[in-house]
A = this chain, B = another copy of it.
């Protein structure tokens, strides 16, 4: 990786890893019937600034060197894919079928200060299911299941998908008597949400400062400590002795998600009542995801249910979804050595005997490509040793030596002088070289594409 602070750029071998990840995500999302869309990079600044808490991080657009007046525009770059999908759904409601199940993989931008070392441009992969008026709860289970399957196939350390439900937290706080005077449940959630960055005793102090009694603080922190990989969290919450109707609803919803998601290799799904999500707009299920060994990244995949994703006065569009921070996950792994074994897609380099026979080499390449084998032809007719090193430097596993007219001293004794020699192909990793027919030779299927090479395997 190289480049301007906050704008990571990948070298070709690294980009192969990103492509592998993006292809896998797309494959899983499409297997589950999610439709792809892209939205424009820009939204009106009004739409972007409605979410007050991040307005300092938005890039606005100007038109440079406009000579006939002001270059200002009322446009800015989107900082997530949620503002855009809400706007897209409203604009296209008459043309979409609801529930609208979509995935979207795009760059987003945040006008962070360069010195903070944060990303200013990064790729997100979002899935959301948006309904008109009513969104059945089983879709919360579905987005968790689909994202778990998507995460499970990635070449990354073990992931933990942490699921909570704002109704559990809000109902519990209401049951505790945190009912708005002096402090309401949302303010408490925003403090509890800091538990992954701030020690528990500091959070306790902040909750006390909000006006909670010592007993309430103890209960709030006890709830936040509950994390189970099955539905036993329900009993543990009950043991805290707090009751409220909203708590009952939340526990039933969360138990339905935790009890329904099928196991996926590489991903542990847990109910984790520390997860609150600071943002107001979540109304039920919330998701976060931690990657083993990378706690400092915080959550790399987050989301939840919004009962009011969008509204046009006549209809409300509730949504539920999860957003994967592809760059957030990938860039640190690349820095730690995750890469691929090629800087090109080519599985075969066709060697060049001399510049006059380039057409012969092109013809071989063309036959191989017709069978789906990525192939390039040597750039120049250097000595074969140099052409092999040309392949080695790019990670190309096979070098093809085209058949040539031979009448020279190199002919084997049993060959008729002037007869055509055979095509040969060498696996330059093993050195094994065999005769091959360009009309039917094919490499092992595993060698058709670059391999991802993980640092710790």
Residues of A within 8 A of B (CB): 2-4, 7, 9-12, 15-16, 19, 30-42, 45, 48-49, 55-67, 71, 73, 76-77, 88, 91-92, 95-97, 99, 101-102, 107, 109, 111, 121, 136, 138-139, 260, 262, 343-346, 358-359, 366, 369, 372-376, 379-380, 390, 393-394
Nearest CB in chain B to that of A55: its residue: B65
Partner of A346, one of B4, B33, B59: B33
Given contacts A3-B40, A10-B37, A96-B343, 15 further A-B pairs with CB under 8 A are A3-B91, A7-B42, A9-B39, A9-B40, A15-B35, A31-B375, A32-B376, A33-B345, A35-B343, A41-B109, A60-B63, A61-B62, A61-B111, A64-B111, A139-B379
| A366 with B262: CB separation less than 8 A | yes
Residues of B within 8 A of A60 (CB): 61-64, 71
Nearest CB in chain B to that of A58: its residue: B64
Q: How far is the CB of A206 from chain B (nearest CB, A)?
A: 25
Nearest CB in chain B to that of A379: its residue: B99
Number of copies: 2
| A136 with B380: CB separation less than 8 A | yes
Residues of B within 8 A of A379 (CB): 99, 136, 139
Within the assembled complex, what's the spacing in Å between the Cα atoms of A344 and B37?
Answer: 10
Residues of B within 8 A of A393 (CB): 97
Residues of B within 8 A of A375 (CB): 31-33
Q: How far is the CB of A393 from chain B (nearest CB, A)?
A: 5
Partner of A63, one of B15, B19, B56, B88: B56
Residues of B within 8 A of A39 (CB): 9
Residues of B within 8 A of A64 (CB): 45, 48-49, 55-56, 58-60, 76, 111
| B63 with A59: CB separation less than 8 A | yes
Within the assembled complex, what's the spacing in Å between the Cα atoms of A91 and B1?
Answer: 11
Partner of A374, one of B10, B31, B260: B31
Nearest CB in chain B to that of A349: its residue: B33
Residues of B within 8 A of A65 (CB): 49, 55-56, 58
Main secondary structure of the interface of A (DSSP, over half): mixed
| B62 with A66: CB separation less than 8 A | no
| B31 with A369: CB separation less than 8 A | yes
Within the assembled complex, what's the spacing in Å between the Cα atoms of A66 and B114?
Answer: 14
Residues of B within 8 A of A121 (CB): 40-42
Q: How far is the CB of A84 from chain B (nearest CB, A)?
A: 9
Residues of B within 8 A of A136 (CB): 379-380
Best-surrounded residue of A33, A373, A393, A394 (most CB of chain B within 10 A): A33
- Of all A-B residue pairs in the complex, the 4 with the closest CB atoms, nearest first, are A33-B376, A33-B346, A30-B345, A63-B111
Residues of B within 8 A of A73 (CB): 59, 111
Within the assembled complex, what's the spacing in Å between the Cα atoms of A38 and B106?
Answer: 12
| A2 with B92: CB separation less than 8 A | yes
| B35 with A12: CB separation less than 8 A | yes
Nearest CB in chain B to that of A352: its residue: B138
Q: How far is the CB of A126 from chain B (nearest CB, A)?
A: 15
| B56 with A66: CB separation less than 8 A | yes
| B56 with A11: CB separation less than 8 A | no
Q: How far is the CB of A60 from chain B (nearest CB, A)?
A: 4
| A41 with B38: CB separation less than 8 A | no
Q: How far is the CB of A26 from chain B (nearest CB, A)?
A: 9
Within the assembled complex, what's the spacing in Å between the Cα atoms of A3 and B37?
Answer: 14
Within the assembled complex, what's the spacing in Å between the Cα atoms of A92 and B138?
Answer: 49
Residues of B within 8 A of A32 (CB): 369, 374-376
Within the assembled complex, what's the spacing in Å between the Cα atoms of A12 and B96?
Answer: 8
Q: How far is the CB of A80 from chain B (nearest CB, A)?
A: 15
List, sorted by A's number, 28 A–B pairs whose CB atoms are closer than 8 Å: A2-B91, A2-B92, A9-B88, A10-B38, A11-B37, A11-B96, A12-B35, A15-B35, A15-B36, A30-B374, A31-B372, A31-B373, A31-B375, A33-B346, A36-B345, A41-B41, A41-B107, A41-B109, A55-B64, A57-B63, A59-B63, A60-B71, A62-B62, A73-B111, A96-B343, A97-B394, A101-B376, A136-B380
Residues of B within 8 A of A109 (CB): 41
Asked whether A15 and B37 contact (CB < 8 A) given A60-B71, A64-B58, A345-B30, the answer is yes
